[in-house]
Structure 1
């Protein structure tokens, strides 16, 4: 019975030892609950409440995504077997729509891309170009190059700016070799599937996304 009480109290961040209540601090120690400032208790309670809702919602979204993928997969199988019709393009992108044209589900497959060691060769060639062009090169080219090869917190280069370099029309042979090295560096390491939902009030209206992203809700 005592263990059940301790477990119930622990969910609120409170530990009971010999009838006394404690709160675990950030160093793993125990502080008497009476010694904890009221604002710290309030913050602790509020964060625990928000996290509890967030965990529950995250689990619901996970189940929702699983059901959605299963339902669409079942539809694909029925169409393929019964009607010999396959929805989607060669990359696996698919669009499903209601009969009245007011609701739509889109499945988009994006390649996961990384870069091999050829990227460092490209960087060296580009650096040579920039040093030689320093007096004449346009600032925007230098800016794109800087952004492209600046790594983020995970040590990854900025893919969008790397690909932007490929679109620059520069005739220098070293630049062309650098762009060829970038193309050789591209590795397709897998793919990720995104499911998006849309609706509209009439066929004359624009599609509106059904937002499931908290940052955009």
Structure 2
């Protein structure tokens, strides 16, 4: 028997000359005892995951190279003009000379809420209880979605911000909104890269996505 035939296939282990595959419980199962459909599924998954890991590594390298290139370009501009590109948060945009391609860098803050949020919730509940029939159902729905989550120590941030945009002049409501603002804590930030292109300078921008759910081509 040649050495090639004695090598285990992906997912297989050779013990005393016999081929085994490890199951989900960690037990070694003889290859001949495994159903062909299960072996075929295993082979398919190992192939797909191999491509997925390679693609993930390639995207990570691309992201790193992109930030390096942009950072070096920013350093050249700062050296040439003595100023840093972008606003206070670090948002900035780069565009090709023909106006057909651009890359944007945006920084999004991660916000958590302190104990003042519970005071805001009490004040909001007082308002809703007193207004009772006069309060709009959609307002009650927003408040419910904002504070009713799977975990008591979490809130729906999008609905909380929607509450801040409501024009309600009741003094307790205004105090509640001030308590929400005081409860906000910026706990970190994340930087996003976005890529755009267009066929002509007067055409709308089209996003170049690196999201499998949104990527063009392939099966839908």
Q: TM-score normalized by structure 1?
A: 0.88
Q: How many residues align?
A: 211
Residue equivalent to 2:111: 113
Once the two structures are overlaid, the 10-residue window that deviates more, 176-185 or 23-32, is 23-32
Residue equivalent to 2:8: 9
Moved over 6 A (4+): none
Superposed CA offset, 1:23-65 (max 9, x none): 2211222222222222222222222111111111110011101
Q: Is structure 2 residue 122 aligned with structure 1 residue 124?
A: yes
Distance across 2 between alignment mates of 1:137 and 1:13 = 62
Residue equivalent to 1:84: 82
Once the two structures are overlaid, the 10-residue window that deviates more, 130-139 or 57-66, is 130-139
CA RMSD of aligned residues (A): 2.2
Map 1:162-177 → 2, pairs under 5 A: 162-177=160-175
Deviation at 1:85, TM superposition (A): 4.4
Query: Secondary structure of 1:214's partner?
Result: coil
Q: Structure 2: where are the runs of 5+ without partners?
A: 216-220
Q: Is structure 2 residue 202 aligned with structure 1 residue 193?
A: no
Distance across 2 between alignment mates of 1:88 and 1:152 = 38
Deviation at 1:153, TM superposition (A): 7.3
Retained in 2: the 8 A contact 1:23–1:31?
A: yes
Query: Secondary structure of 2:213's partner?
Result: helix
Once the two structures are overlaid, the 10-residue window that deviates more, 131-140 or 204-213, is 131-140
Residue equivalent to 1:146: 144
Residue equivalent to 1:136: 134
Distance across 2 between alignment mates of 1:67 and 1:85 = 23
Retained in 1: the 8 A contact 2:22–2:28?
A: yes
Q: Structure 1: where are the runs of 5+ without partners?
A: none
Distance across 2 between alignment mates of 1:139 and 1:187 = 30
Deviation at 1:78, TM superposition (A): 0.6
